[in-house]
Structure 1
Amino acid sequence: MEAITSPLEAVRSLYAARPAGAAGDDCGVRERFAGLMDDPAFAAQVPVLTEETADLLPNQCLVRYRGMVADMLNPEYYVGEFRRADGSWATAKYADQLDEAVPEGAETRIAERRPLLLVPVPAESPWAAAPRAAAARASLAAVAGAGAAGAAGAGKRARDGEVPAAANGAAAQEEDVSMGVSMTVSDATGQTTTADDGDSGASRARRAAAAGPQEVASGGGGSAAAPGADLPAGCCMAYLYDDREVKLNDIVEVVGVLSRVPELAAAHMQQQEGGQASSMLLDDILASHLPTSKAPRLHAILLSAVRAEVEAAAPAMPAVAEARARALGFLSQVLGGDDVAAEYLLLQLVARVHHRTAESAVGTLALNLVAEANSPAAAAQQQQPRQQLSQLGAALAAALAALAPRCLALPLSVPALNARPWWPRRDLNTQRLVGGPLQLAANTQVLLDETVLATGTLNEVGLRNLAALQHLMRAQKVAYDFEFFSLEQPADAPVTILSLGKSLLKDTVGVALPLRPTAPLADAAAVASAAGGANLAPLRAYLAAARTLDFSIAPDMEQFLQQELAGARQKDSGVNEQTFHTWMNLARLLALSHGESGLTRERWAGMRALEAARSARLAPQAAA
């Protein structure tokens, strides 16, 4: 239990036990805490940091956090160790402040840490998020007794005349390197922290009560935007102390020490209210160090990437057959009994990028479900608000979210496209990445509802949003805007478009399928009710296992496919390399959806039957 309520004591005891003069290792800290976390009983007691629990956790306790890497800031330099007066070495890792004073003129060792901005996983489906939210509430029991005292002592400052050891990176280059984050801010502002530090829940409540209604609605704090106003609720800053590989948009799980620094909130408040003169040093510090009430600081001891939603082998064939049939039935019900469309939508749910070329990503589909202008599917859209998802769009979004761990649904209306950038971009004032809807973790289903599109004019932002969508569909990449250059980031997000007639994004559509419902289309409420009343866990496990299967093509099948291509070209001169690429992708996905890791003639024939049914629907459109 002490490892949870006082993890820094465990860290310092391990450092104290190392040989005199030794440096450059973590003294078994990661090994010690990894061993503790391997015990399910201990891991269940480690409190979970969320938006809901943030104000209830004591300062400097051990916490867990799961989120997506939304930004990777410049490395910071800090005082990693200092020599005490008795000649022993003390560590300053995993903390912003220390209880003991750094002796004047003490020998120090400078170290580096990497700040990561972590945010709650975007577009996460409710069924995937709910268990973790329940676990977060339950985990508070382990620190209930220490909570009030810890919260009251959050962000403890050094005693008068003392200098905390952990130094902010920006200040370390211009100020004394032994200056801590809190003291850096105090020194730069020329003021000390008052009793109302601005970083507690009570302080924020007092400011909200004192602000007028209009001020609260707009964010308060005068004309300047509130610090961190662009960040989602529940984010945190995680500090990495080793060289483990982390990539942008990775989903990670962090175990580390929670740290609050009230001086940061106080300095931000004073800057917003014009309480002190601005300086380049202060601006740089505050830009990269948000109030810990907005983005708590988490000093990472353990960090692991969440590579798969379900760690399981492919289910046995009977289980696959049953789960596949249930998934198809669920999707077909949403689509008004259109079994062919349900098949193609099922393939979207198992699609992923398994190979990349310079120009494209192999493995995903850009699927266009077309509701023709005179069809029942189109008639159902006419009464819907044009700024929101249509009835069918909301139903499809609910169905995808019921089966996939993440689903992003975007209405392609002119107001929505013009409103704001959907691509991430660097804010040169804060030196942080401002996320957009298209900054997504892998395995996110994207639904674009084009049926709400009405007459209007797209501005520059709207046109760039369309271009970003086309690039995502064509290459599974998103260009991040750094003002003077763009940096493309890989994505893995199958895109489904719902349109009336030909899609606005037709040039990047891989598979277009007119809908042919034989029963009334479902609405979002009906889909949610059906999902809530059914046990969908086996279906979700089946889809996750099918999606992560390795796939290969046997040599005899390669020869068969060459013959198939030659024969198809003889029968139809319109069959080209792109057609064969689409067929291969569909056949691979069809095999995966059956729980098979290799292509067979049976699945190839099944794919050709699906494509024949789709071509029959497209023929009347081509004739018209």
Structure 2
Amino acid sequence: STTGESWSLTLTIIYSKTDFSNPKSGWEAKVVEFFKDRLKEKDAHTWVPSLNDVPLHYLKPNSLVKFRCLIQDMFDPEFFMGAYETVDPSTNAKVLRCGRYKDVTECGVSLVDFNSRNTVTAERQTFYCVPIPGENPWVKEISSSLFVNAAPYQARVVPSTSYAPTRQKRSYEEDDMDDMDTQPQKQREPHSGINSSQGHTEQHGNGDCKRQETEAPSSQTASASHLDLNFPLPGEKGPSCLVKVYEDWDSFKLNDTLEVFGILSVSPALSALADEKDASSSILDPTESMETAEEQRVHSPPASLVPRLHMLYARPLPHNNPLLPSATLEDNSAFLSSTLSEMASVRAELLTYLTHVLLGDALAAEYLILHLISNVYARRDVLPLGKFAMNLSGCPAAALYTQRFYQIIQQLVPSSFYLGMSLQNMNQMRLVPKKDYVANRLVSGALQLARNTFLFLDETHLEQGQLDTTGVRNVTALGNLISWQKVDYDFNYHQMEFPCNINVLIASEGRSLLPSDCQIHLQSQVSPPNMEEYLSNIQLHPQTSSQLNKFRIYLSVARQLDYSISDEMTKSVEDDFVDMRKDDPQSVSAEDLHRMLVVARLLSLSLGQTSLTRDSWLRAKHIDMLRRSRMEQHQCVNGNEP
């Protein structure tokens, strides 16, 4: 069967047949190509255990795993021994070994010959990666079930008996004594100056599975309290990971979302060596450590908390919806055509459901669908094209409506974050990432989000009070995010712009204090005395989970579709614009035209149409007219509202 272990065995065989001292052999590219090809076979990638779904203490060291993640930080490049020679002290026999895809040298009783002419010093990059921020529970559940259902029986994960995190803090002598007691048939191996990860694998080979299952999480929790894992959002769980990149690291950018396939390294020696400065010779980096204590703590955390993953191959993730095929839509024409044929009917069902959620307001539900499928598809200079930030005003403050509303949206989108805009949150939260020069890392903020994350800003929490400097900076950052789809990271002496692609919905009672591309005032069809009862009856789940999955697929596919406008339709739109301005030039501005074109684009995509038709354009004009007349009517009633 094709499992993480069997693929790692393949890597071992490749190692044994390769001349690492010859830089022209090109074996590295062949290894990557081999794994890429194997992962494409019959959805083999679904058989690979994931760090997102499987607890770390269930995974075997040096096996193939995958990790769905966001690049939170990029550390400085590091040197390592790409090839090194070991010498057996008793026989003087020399063996050339490979240091690629490893953190710790493997030499057993032998010693590394640092003066060997065959030593090859190479360079690799390290990315600090975290699980995709705000990934919703349904994504994790479906991803996990896909692995369990896809993996052959032999590949299903059982607690690893080769690595017991709970025993790391004990000395190696104690471990050896345990092994002498529990495995009398094995002779105790003498220590060498170089730690062997294979040696540790054998030494921990007789651990108690049940003990590991119960103890590993608690020890992890205890250690985690002393180590900031730098997750962008509060309350996040899951492993962070140091991903070692060997090829084309310039092709990756901060905040990219990836699925990384690589060799897992959780050697206890890494944790031990982090505490022993004089043991730096055991690590494959032959250079002296120039890091400060704080930097070393951040860059060399315990492997039980922050495992190392040596990248073989990384797949960019245009989305993190596990219900869609892993291949791009263009490469999966059968899935795309069947989905497109159902889009109009699924849209009608979703519209009915969201109308119910939005207190009977069908127009607001229409705009909410357009908002949920919006996407920055291009940038012209500084202008992000395709964004559609929405301000839903008129939200009832009673009965926790906005929280209930967010919980329902959470069931539909893969990643989301709820931010209650209370005075305390605005004055205390760190929204913008900031560079820490002492620890040499980027301290994350709540706006360091993956593309297409749904950000729900709840202004019904606003109260009277004074914004301090942090509060003003946070509100400014939110305004820039909405208007320009960028976040200015704080590098102390300067700011650096990072583009983003985040769907922002602002729920408010009156008009939002933040900018938006479209404001629609909620017209509730529910009378206030019945509000609480109505809200309590709103089902978080529609009729069935299959219905919910239809909605999830629909929203993700609509966001990824290509779109175009023919020359004929462009001329028709221009003529319409001229006609609209004939009677009253002030009635329709260029900004209004731009918004109507965005609405027309999203309306077309929501129906599964990849080009603008006359009907869609007329429909876009109609709903925009309805929205504007509603806003004018509301302003007449509430003349004092801006």
Q: Which TM-score band (shorter chain)?
A: 0.7 to 0.9
Match of 2:113 among 93, 103, 116: 103
Provide the residue aligned with 2:561 in structure 1.
Answer: 549
Q: Helix, strand or coil for the counterpart of 1:614?
A: helix
For the pair 1:580 / 2:593, whether they are aligned, the reply is yes
Match of 1:479 among 468, 478, 488: 488
* Conserved? CA contact 1:418–1:461, under 8 Å: yes
CA distance in 2, matches of 1:335, 1:31: 51
* Conserved? CA contact 2:166–2:215, under 8 Å: no
**1:256-303 Cα deviation digits (max 9, x unpaired):** 1111243454466799xxxxxx99554443331111122111111121
* Conserved? CA contact 2:390–2:505, under 8 Å: yes
CA distance in 2, matches of 1:202, 1:529: 34
Change (3 A) 1:207 1:154: closer
Match of 2:627 among 587, 590, 614: 614
Provide the residue aligned with 1:186 in structure 2.
Answer: none
Q: Helix, strand or coil for the counterpart of 1:441?
A: coil
For the pair 1:133 / 2:133, whether they are aligned, the reply is no
Q: Helix, strand or coil for the counterpart of 1:446?
A: strand
1:205 Cα offset (Å):
7.7
1:503 Cα offset (Å):
0.9
Match of 2:367 among 324, 344, 349: 344
Change (3 A) 1:32 1:329: same
TM-score by length of 1: 0.81
Change (3 A) 1:40 1:473: same
Deviates more, 1:103-112 or 1:24-33: 24-33
CA distance in 2, matches of 1:469, 1:18: 54
CA distance in 2, matches of 1:552, 1:79: 51
Provide the residue aligned with 2:180 in structure 1.
Answer: none
Provide the residue aligned with 1:32 in structure 2.
Answer: 34
Q: Helix, strand or coil for the counterpart of 1:535?
A: helix
* Conserved? CA contact 1:315–1:595, under 8 Å: no
Change (3 A) 1:258 1:159: farther
Provide the residue aligned with 1:442 in structure 2.
Answer: 451
TM-score by length of 2: 0.79
Query: What is the letter of the counterpart of residue 518 of structure 1?
Result: Q
Provide the residue aligned with 1:259 in structure 2.
Answer: 265
CA distance in 1, matches of 2:623, 2:473: 35
1:621 Cα offset (Å):
3.5
1:250 Cα offset (Å):
1.9
Match of 1:559 among 571, 595, 605: 571
Q: Helix, strand or coil for the counterpart of 2:70?
A: strand
Runs of at least 5 residues in structure 1 that lack an aligned partner in the other structure: 167-181, 183-199, 209-215, 272-277, 372-376, 384-390
* Conserved? CA contact 1:49–1:136, under 8 Å: no
Deviates more, 1:112-121 or 1:527-536: 527-536
**1:23-70 Cα deviation digits (max 9, x unpaired):** 253162112322332344754443222375112222222212111221
CA distance in 2, matches of 1:38, 1:228: 36
Identity of counterpart residues, as a percentage? 27
Deviates more, 1:72-81 or 1:228-237: 228-237
Change (3 A) 1:286 1:594: same
For the pair 1:492 / 2:505, whether they are aligned, the reply is no
Correspondence 1:435-474 to 2 at 5 A: 435-474=444-483
Provide the residue aligned with 1:81 in structure 2.
Answer: 83
Number of aligned residue pairs: 559
**1:437-456 Cα deviation digits (max 9, x unpaired):** 21111111221111111112
Match of 1:589 among 598, 602, 605: 602
Query: What is the letter of the counterpart of residue 91 of structure 1?
Result: C
CA distance in 1, matches of 2:471, 2:337: 42
Runs of at least 5 residues in structure 2 that lack an aligned partner in the other structure: 88-92, 173-188, 201-211, 278-288, 330-334
Change (3 A) 1:117 1:104: closer
Provide the residue aligned with 1:47 in structure 2.
Answer: 49
1:471 Cα offset (Å):
0.6
Q: Helix, strand or coil for the counterpart of 2:10?
A: helix
Match of 1:537 among 541, 549, 559: 549
* Conserved? CA contact 2:344–2:606, under 8 Å: no
Query: What is the letter of the counterpart of residue 69 of structure 1?
Result: I
* Conserved? CA contact 2:422–2:462, under 8 Å: yes
* Conserved? CA contact 1:401–1:407, under 8 Å: yes
CA distance in 1, matches of 2:148, 2:68: 15
CA distance in 1, matches of 2:384, 2:254: 18
For the pair 1:413 / 2:422, whether they are aligned, the reply is yes
CA distance in 2, matches of 1:220, 1:486: 34
